[in-house]
Amino acid sequence: MVSPRSTRPADDRPVLRPPSNRVERRSIGWWTSQAVVVVVPPVCVLVLLALLIEPARPWLLLSAAVVGVPGVVTMAVMPVWRYRVHRWETTGDAVYTRAGWVRQEWRIAPLSRIQTVDTVRGPLQQLFGLATVTVTTASAAGAVKIDGLDHAFARDLVDELTRVTQATPGDAT
């Protein structure tokens, strides 16, 4: 799991660099499902109301289009784009992540700063057999999250990171 590859400056700190591992391809379906859950219900409610309330029909259908058209574009583009962007990697020194689709975020969590490592599985993630690994540090920027990992692999990764961080010197602050 933890690869020995590391790029370090002269003062022996891990540096921000592109992580090498992709998330599971099933993440595309998970992200698409999340978008469907957000976009389809309001559009359906607006269309239903347009059918029931004739005087407001043009405005309700316009509202459905204003929500639905960008929603359909998001459902088509966002999951594939996120799959292309999302990367993660663990080394003997740190956990590296790159995430986002409009606003991309690159993060590094040195093993000596890790306080907790958890997995999260929402209902849609469970349906797709996926999990999110959350690496918590004392950073004000918040936890480092690796979305879209196979559930069994995520469980093994959490075990490995827990074992490695316990053996890493430092006070996790």
Do 96 and 76 lie in a common domain? Answer: no
> 29 burial class (0-12, 13-18, 19+ CB within 10 angstroms)?
middle
- The whole model's pTM is what? 0.82
Q: Which range marks the domain in which residue 60 is found?
A: 29-81
**Residue 173 maps to a domain:** no
pLDDT in tens, 150-169: 999 999 999 999 998 887 66
Whole-angstrom distance, CA of residue 74 vs CA of residue 20 = 26
Sign of CA dihedral 156, 92, 114, 85: negative
Whole-angstrom distance, CA of residue 13 vs CA of residue 170 = 13
Q: Any idea what the Cα angle at residue 103 is, between residues 102 and 106, rounded to 5°?
A: 130
SS3 category, 11: coil
H/E stretch holding 105: strand 105-110
**CB contact set of 151 (below 8 Å; sequence gap of 6+):** 119, 121, 125, 126, 129, 130, 131
Do 105 and 124 lie in a common domain? Answer: yes
Backbone angles phi, psi at 134, to 5 degrees: -115, 120
pLDDT in tens, 59-118: 999 999 999 999 999 999 999 999 999 999 998 888 999 998 889 899 988 888 899 999
CA-wise closest residue to 134 among 157, 112, 150, 152:
157
Q: How many domains does the chain have?
A: 2
Do 162 and 105 lie in a common domain? Answer: yes
Do 118 and 75 lie in a common domain? Answer: no
